[in-house]
Amino acid sequence: MSLLQRFRGERTPDTTPDDLVANDRLDDPRVGYFMLFADEPDLDADGLTLALRSYHPDLDRAKAELFHFSAEDPQPDLPMFVGLMGWGRHVIQVVGFRGPVPTEIFEACVVPSHIVSELRDEARRHRGHVLLNYAGFDPDPLERYVALTIASIALARMGGLLLLNHPARTAFPAEALTADDPEVDAIVGLRVMPLPLLYLGFVKIELEGQDGVWMRTFGGHLMNLPDLAYRVESHKRGSEVFDLFSTMLGFMHGNEAAFHEGDSVRFDEDGPGFTLRVPTAEENWLTSEGTMLVMTAES
């Protein structure tokens, strides 16, 4: 059975349990990333397989397969290659392109990001990108993102420059993905890192004629979580609000809990309390593809 058939989720009687086959029954919103490359991505299946297996002992049977299309008539809008990466219940679809990502995706992710200016400038000059889509069988949104991030780390080790999560409006340096911490299990680290760091986005918004700074998340619907927003007086409170959002979102995910309009929230007995509301019709900068909860400090 060909890789192209399995990429589309097709199965035949000769399909074996070891074959990577995309899940064609994913009805919920799919999660995915873009990895930018300074030049056209030059990837091979053996290199990707090695990069996966060397990342963690649990990936000793991971593998990658690629199908390269003819380069006789290269066109920016057609893929250079397609493929699958996978292990266990996880399958990742991989599509490589020459040329940059669409401008609207780049601007939505990179402009509000906090990456250093040198990397931002290098990313603007990128000449290739790879699309990664989760197409596996794990129902947990967090595990899907963890699997996507592992696949992205393999790409980062083969020349990836910057990782974009478009629904979350997030840009994450590939170099940071490959940084090792010997005191933390690599996969556990991906599971416990703050959700607004990569899986959801953390964006600051200044509005003309309005004092203060709005801070909000994007992409909560893909984690079965609400997006959060909070208005503060200055950028100086960015770290504080990031930690607050991380605590709330982590609590909801870890405890399968939900907050609703009108709820009061307090995570520290001596800390501030908050009341939750939904945006007004005029607060269009707080639009979310799922639920948005605005936090208001209680007096």
What kind and span of H or E run contains 172? strand 170-173
What kind and span of H or E run contains 243? helix 238-255
CA distance to 89, 97, 232, per residue, from 66 (Å)? 19, 13, 48
The pTM of this model reads 0.93
Taken in order 132, 128, 109, 102, the sign of the CA dihedral is negative
| Residue 76 confidence (pLDDT) | 59
The DSSP letter of residue 192 is H
Angle between helical axes of 45-53 and 141-156 (0-180°, round to 10): 120
Pair of tokens at residue 188: 């556990």
Pair of tokens at residue 124: 């603007």
Per-residue pLDDT in tens (0 to 9) along the chain, 299 residues: 689 999 999 988 888 888 999 998 887 767 999 999 999 999 999 999 999 999 999 999 999 999 998 766 656 568 999 999 999 999 999 999 999 999 999 999 999 888 998 999 999 999 999 999 999 999 999 999 999 999 999 999 999 999 999 999 999 999 999 887 778 899 999 999 999 999 999 999 999 888 999 999 999 999 999 999 999 999 999 999 999 999 999 999 988 778 889 899 887 777 778 999 999 999 999 999 999 999 998 87
What kind and span of H or E run contains 66? strand 63-68
> How does strand 292-297 pair with strand 227-232?
parallel
To 5 degrees, how large is the angle CA 278–CA 281–CA 282? 115
Q: What is the DSSP string of 104-169?
A: HHHHHHHTT----HHHHHHHHT--EEEEEEE-SS---HHHHHHHHHHHHHHHHTTTEEEEEEGGGT
| Residue 272 confidence (pLDDT) | 79
Nearest to 283 by CA among 234, 210, 225, 219: 210
